[in-house]
């Protein structure tokens, strides 16, 4: 029996007294709002798994796997869920590191999806609990977005709800799924295309934040299409006979120049950026092949497609001008987001009921230390929950993307943001990783799990809520727009991405994997004092 199964035997056995007590206390009908006793049991069920939450947050932080390479995370999480009776399917939508875990009680009942991203970011390796920029392994990936915390939220919530479903004979299905390669915006559209959410009645998504919140309506961020353009030319000696060659790199550079000239004449809502992924081999060889990778972002399906079409036209013009040819590959897509209002209102009531974590003086001191050390704005950990606002009341002016949007256009979906990080940290930067394996991350994830558990109970036991959620999607969301991704049947997931870097980095990274059987926390394993960040 491996260590993950041993720890799950320990945690699953803790929940049995709670389930037994519920069976004696309550006999509520399946199709009714959750009773106060059931809600209290959900909170208790999460609290009883606080140690599991800490172990999962710290373990996935230590794995630090980038998009399409989340295999250690996959094995770790699915073993925990399988030990608790979930049925595991690996390789969802043809993506090897993807999976689903389902558990069903009784006949019929709603099917509720519970998902969160799990991938890390390239080059953001960081020792947790310290304020200085300190790579654990130089050049390795790291959790500079905090995606190590969300799956712990979902697993703890699902196990707490599972106990109640069994004790109260509530029919339904729970489906836990991971956001694979979210930083590449590269999988959820494929999940939808391949039918992974067929039969799902509602979906709850989570994301790490500095606060505790949810929202509804059109998202403030952008949708996006990810495209790599590869130019093909003809090699020759760069000094001896440059006229005999046709430079693929010239095609890439001319495309980039043309796109940058066009920016002035694009809508202010758009965001676009690129990296040259292949610039040739060495200077004295005219490059016969070169590639550039673009993200085109806007806040409507039409706007995204227009940027995509402009990019394609410019690439072809650049190829014509340089005597080269060009081919393109769509690597990913993220639809504009639209969160469900009835579900958000139910979730926000639960967020208010749970409340913010009780931050200690040590937690606040650690947050202050991070901010001051990195010369960031000083702001204490959030202690109050702000009123929920409708995203649809804001005019998007550009911003990031999340491919949860594709699922939002498939099944009623919301995002619950939970308070596991420190204010003022820089996104996609090592500062955003510094707190992600500390008590702040652990407490925030426990709070998030409680809100998810309560909202899942609402969806399972209140048919009116599901009906309202579906009605809102049909009458409001679908009245505004139609799901129209820039993704063809021929487009396939970029499962080759990050393979080479992990082949080089994983052996070094394995030496730093967290061992919860020997240490109470990852900080203890690394010998880091909290909250000072000093090495013990």
Q: Which residue has the higher pLDDT, 5 or 395?
A: 395
Q: What is the residue whose two structure tokens read 């009341």?
A: 393
Q: Encoding tokens for residue 466? A: 């599901």
Conformation bin of residue 294: beta by default, left when phi > 0, alpha when psi is -120 to 50: beta
298 and 281 part of one domain: yes
Q: Is 345 exposed, middle or buried (0-12, 13-18, 19+ CB in 10 A)?
A: middle
Banded pLDDT at 3 (limits 50, 70, 90)? very low
pLDDT for residue 280 is more than 80: yes
Are 200 and 66 contained in the same domain?
yes
The stretch 102-111 carries a mean pLDDT of: 97
Q: How are the residues of the chain apportioned to helix, strand and coil, as percentages rounded to the nearest 5?
A: 45, 20, 40
> CATH number for the domain including 318?
3.30.70.360
pTM of the model: 0.92
Distant-in-sequence, close-in-space partners of 534: CB < 8 Å, separation ≥ 6:
528
Residue 517 pLDDT greater than 60, yes or no: yes
In sequence order, what are the residues at sequence separation of 6 or more whose Cβ sits closer than 8 angstroms to the Cβ of residue 166? 19, 105
Q: Please check whether residues 381 and 284 belong to one and the same domain.
A: no
Token pair for residue 393?
């009341």
Q: What is the reported pLDDT for 354?
A: 98
250, 324 contact by CB (below 8 A) = yes
Is residue 14 in some structural domain? no
Structural domain ending residue among the three candidates 461, 481, 501: 481
Q: Do 77 and 206 sit in the same domain of this protein?
A: yes
Sequence-ordered alpha helix ranges (H) in 48-149:
50-63, 71-83
Q: Which helix (H) or strand (E) holds 422?
A: none
Q: Which CATH number fits the domain that encloses residue 213?
A: 3.40.630.10
In degrees, rounded to 5, the angle at the alpha carbon of residue 209 between the alpha carbons of residues 208 and 212 is: 105
The answer as to whether 401 is a domain residue is no
Quick one: residue 181, left, alpha or beta (phi over 0 = left, psi -120 to 50 = alpha)? left
Asked if 93 and 175 sit in the same domain, the reply is yes
Q: Are residues 67 and 214 in the same domain?
A: yes
Distance of CA 389 to the CA centre of its chain: 22
Note the pLDDT of residue 399. Answer: 77
DSSP reduced 3-state for 221: coil
For residue range 124-147, what is the model confidence (pLDDT) as tens digits? 999 999 999 999 999 999 999 999
Average pLDDT, the chain: 93
Q: Which of 21-30, 234-243, 328-337, 521-530 has the lowest mean pLDDT?
A: 21-30
Higher pLDDT, 3 or 489: 489
Whether 72 is covered by a domain: the verdict is yes
Does any domain span residue 292? yes
Domain membership of residue 371 (yes or no) is: yes
Give the pLDDT of residue 6.
40
User: Phi and psi of 148, rounded to 5°?
Assistant: -70, -15
Taking each helix axis from N to C end, the angle separating 3-25 and 150-168, rounded to the nearest 10 degrees, works out to 40
Q: Are residues 200 and 131 in the same domain?
A: yes
Number of domains in the chain: 2
425 and 302 both lie in a single domain: no
Residue ranges making up the domain that contains 243: 223-334
One domain, residues 234 and 375: no
Asked if pLDDT for residue 290 goes beyond 80, the answer is yes
Tell me the pLDDT tens digit for each residue of 436-457: 999 999 999 999 999 999 999 9
**Does one domain contain both 433 and 328?**
no
pLDDT of res. 22:
35
352 in the same domain as 327: no
Q: Of 202, 482, 193, nearest to 340 (Cα)?
A: 202
């Amino acid at each position: 029996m491996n260590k993950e199964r041993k720890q799950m035997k320990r945690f699953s056995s803790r929940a049995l007294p709670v389930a037994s007590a519920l069976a004696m206390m309550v006999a509520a009908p399946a199709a009714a709002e959750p009773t106060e006793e059931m809600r209290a049991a959900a909170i208790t069920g999460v609290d009883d798994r606080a140690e599991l939450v800490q172990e999962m947050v710290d373990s996935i932080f230590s794995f630090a796997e980038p998009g399409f390479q989340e295999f250690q995370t996959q094995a770790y999480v699915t073993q925990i869920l399988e030990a608790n009776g979930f049925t595991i399917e690996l390789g969802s939508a043809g993506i090897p590191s993807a999976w689903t875990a389902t558990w069903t009680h009784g006949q019929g009942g709603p099917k509720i999806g519970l998902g969160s991203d799990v991938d890390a970011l390239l080059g953001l390796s960081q020792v947790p609990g310290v304020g200085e920029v300190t790579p654990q392994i130089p050049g390795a990936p790291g959790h500079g977005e905090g995606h190590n915390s969300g799956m712990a939220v979902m697993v703890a919530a699902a196990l707490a709800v599972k106990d109640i479903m069994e004790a109260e004979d509530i029919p339904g299905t729970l489906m836990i799924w991971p956001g694979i390669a979210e930083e590449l915006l590269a999988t959820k559209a494929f999940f939808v295309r391949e039918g992974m959410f067929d039969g799902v009645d509602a979906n709850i998504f989570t994301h790490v934040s500095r606060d505790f919140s949810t929202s509804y309506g059109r998202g403030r961020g952008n949708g996006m299409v990810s495209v790599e353009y590869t130019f093909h030319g003809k090699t020759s000696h760069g000094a001896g006979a440059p006229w005999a060659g046709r430079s693929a790199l010239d095609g890439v550079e001319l495309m980039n120049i043309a796109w940058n000239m066009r920016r002035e004449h694009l809508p202010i809502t758009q965001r676009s950026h690129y990296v040259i992924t292949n610039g040739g081999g060495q200077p004295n060889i005219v490059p016969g092949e070169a590639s550039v990778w673009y993200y085109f972002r806007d806040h409507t399906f039409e706007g995204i497609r227009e940027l995509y079409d402009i990019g394609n036209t410019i690439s072809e013009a650049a190829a014509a001008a340089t005597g080269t040819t060009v081919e393109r590959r769509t690597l990913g897509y993220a639809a504009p987001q639209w969160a469900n209002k009835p579900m958000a209102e139910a979730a926000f009531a639960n967020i208010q009921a749970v409340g913010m974590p009780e931050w200690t003086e040590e937690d606040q001191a650690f947050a202050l230390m991070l901010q001051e050390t990195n010369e960031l704005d000083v702001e204490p950990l959030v202690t109050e929950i702000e009123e929920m606002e409708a995203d649809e009341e804001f005019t998007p002016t550009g911003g990031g993307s999340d491919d949860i949007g594709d699922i939002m256009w498939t099944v009623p979906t919301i995002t619950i943001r939970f308070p596991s990080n420190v204010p003022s940290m820089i996104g996609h930067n090592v500062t955003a990783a510094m707190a992600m394996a500390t008590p702040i991350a652990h407490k925030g994830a426990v709070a998030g799990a409680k809100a998810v558990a309560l909202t899942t109970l609402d969806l399972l036991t209140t048919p009116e809520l599901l009906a309202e959620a579906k009605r809102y999607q049909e009458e409001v969301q679908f009245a505004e727009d139609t799901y129209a991704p820039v993704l063809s049947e021929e487009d396939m997931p970029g499962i080759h991405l990050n393979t080479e870097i992990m082949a080089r980095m994983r052996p070094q990274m394995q030496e730093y994997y967290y061992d919860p059987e020997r240490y109470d926390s990852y900080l203890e394993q690394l010998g880091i004092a909290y909250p000072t960040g000093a090495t013990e």
